Amino acid sequence: MFKKVLIVDDLMSINLGVNAMLKNGYTQNVVYAHYCDEAILKLKRAEQDGEPFDLLITDLSFKEDHREQKLKNGEDLVMTVNMTWPDLKVIVYSIEDKIQRIRRLIHQYQAKAYVCKGRYGLKELEQAVAAVNKNSTYLSPSVETAVNGQEVNEIDDFDVLLLNELALGLSQDEISKQFKEKKITPSSLSSIEKRLNKLKIQLQANNSIHLVAIAKDMGII
């Protein structure tokens, strides 16, 4: 069981469902935060009181209101938690399905689980909590293959940036010039061309338009 769990979500209906699941065998101490800055304050206060949280469950998207927020989204929160409280276990529970973002949360920011909200979301979240409780990791089946698959793993941040520029309708020459202006490397036209050809082979795309469509379908961009 977990001693103390913090749920960060701005929808009360989600919080109530998660709370009920957690109290059915995983913890009796659940605290809520409705935005990321509030979550940080509660994490700090819990640490000062000698009663730290041992599990954080957070969404990625939060509606903006009148309050000025330092942390704009759940990814910012997970990144901050990883730097400040590296032993705190984190589960991301979100409708977001961008594979590159999920990979970053899991591999770079050390989130222990990623669960997609949806028809089976709460059931999968319970499986994630059970896995994390046993020091294991968990990914929703809908994203697991894509996140851990070799093809997607070979796509790095530069590839994502390149695909995004291509999706905006820029030509290879325009991308090259823009990268040179922004001091992004590699930026030569030949390097851009080689990288795009590699991506076409990797994602089995017939042309640049097909490549962008596949990247969007896979959630890479």
Least Cα distance to 55 among 87, 28, 33 occurs for 87
Do 126 and 166 fall within a single domain? no
> How high is the pLDDT of residue 97?
78
pLDDT per position as a tens digit, 69-121: 889 899 999 999 999 999 999 999 999 877 778 888 998 999 999 999 988 99
Do 138 and 172 fall within a single domain? no
CA dist 173 to 119, 136, 170, 182, 221, Å?
A: 44, 46, 8, 14, 21
Mean pLDDT over 3-20 rounds to: 90
Mean pLDDT over 47-60 rounds to: 96
Task: Tell me whether residue 12 is exposed, middle or buried, using C-beta atoms within 10 angstroms of its C-beta: 0 to 12, 13 to 18, 19 or more.
Answer: exposed
The Cβ of residue 91 has, within 10 Å, a number of other Cβ atoms equal to 24
Do 175 and 131 fall within a single domain? no
Do 15 and 121 fall within a single domain? yes
CA atoms within 13 A on the CB side of 123: 4
pLDDT per position as a tens digit, 173-202: 999 999 999 999 999 999 999 999 989 988
Q: Where are the beta strands (DSSP E) in the chain?
A: 5-8, 30-33, 55-58, 89-94, 113-116, 138-139
Do 130 and 182 fall within a single domain? no
> How high is the pLDDT of residue 146?
65
- Residue 76, amino acid: D
Which of the 8 DSSP states describes residue 213? H
Range of the domain at 192: 154-217
Do 83 and 164 fall within a single domain? no
Boundary-marking domain end, from 115, 130, 148: 148
Do 136 and 170 fall within a single domain? no
Do 64 and 163 fall within a single domain? no
Do 52 and 31 fall within a single domain? yes
Do 110 and 14 fall within a single domain? yes
Do 104 and 24 fall within a single domain? yes
Boundary-marking domain end, from 148, 176, 205: 148
Residue 66 belongs to domain with CATH number: 3.40.50.2300
pLDDT per position as a tens digit, 130-154: 999 999 999 998 888 767 765 455 6
pTM for the model: 0.72
Number of folded domains in the chain?
Answer: 2
The Cβ of residue 73 has, within 10 Å, a number of other Cβ atoms equal to 18
